[in-house]
Amino acid sequence: MAKKKETGSLPQTAEMDSTPGSNITYASEVIAIIAGLAASEVEGIAGMINAAGTSVGKNKNITRGIRVEMGTEEVALDLYVIVEYGTPIQRAAMDAQESVRKAIESMTGLHVVRVDVHVQNVSFEKENKALQAGARSALEAGSAENAVTAAASGRKAEGTESGREKAGLKQDAPADKTDAPKE
């Protein structure tokens, strides 16, 4: 195993011999970009989180939340992720590891010795959106139901013509006072 260099300041590079007398080098940021893109495509990974604890969404700066350690022919990574609520965390983490490993090895030829996934937070964004959509549809259904109920009882539905008119029912004419029995 080649000696690893930890990335404290970018760019660090890994060199690969393609032909005698020539090298291919990769900046650690390139490895981080590949890893970030691969991890963001995994179902259940809501985003990444950097060392300061600031969350980074899927389409934001994808190199945040990724620490790269590079050797001459191998690389090790730490991913700091946020998972979506309701996702089996072990499955999402293993999928992220496999996705990142395959992407880096196929694109660079570097051997990935490890991908450690650190789950730092849980995102409720998907759940909140579902709850909001459900509440919105319930409100819309509730206002339609209120209009029908109001129409049946003859009350004026809020913001509409009378409830009976809305339901297509005829208004009863007011009772004529002359027809009332006299005492």
As given in the structure block, the two tokens for residue 31 are: 């490895």
Nearest 10 degrees: CA dihedral of 31, 37, 39, 45? 150
Per residue in 116-167, pLDDT tens?
Answer: 999 999 998 766 666 666 666 767 776 656 555 555 555 554 544 544 454 5
2 has a pLDDT exceeding 60: no
Q: Are 44 and 117 in contact (CB under 8 A)?
A: no
Domain ranges of the chain: 5-123, 128-168
- Residues 74-127: pLDDT tens digits? 999 999 999 999 999 999 999 999 999 999 999 999 999 999 999 999 998 766
- Burial-class residue 47 by CB neighbours within 10 Å (0-12, 13-18, 19+): buried
Q: Is the dihedral of CA 88, 89, 92, 95 positive or negative?
A: negative
CATH number at 5-123: 3.30.70.1350
Q: Are strands 45-49 and 23-27 parallel, antiparallel or unpaired?
A: unpaired
Residues 6+ apart with CB under 8 A from 10: 27, 28, 29
DSSP class per residue in 99-141 = HHHHHHHHHH--EEEEEEEEEEEEE-HHHHHHHHHHHHHHHHH
Q: Which amino acid is at 170?
A: K
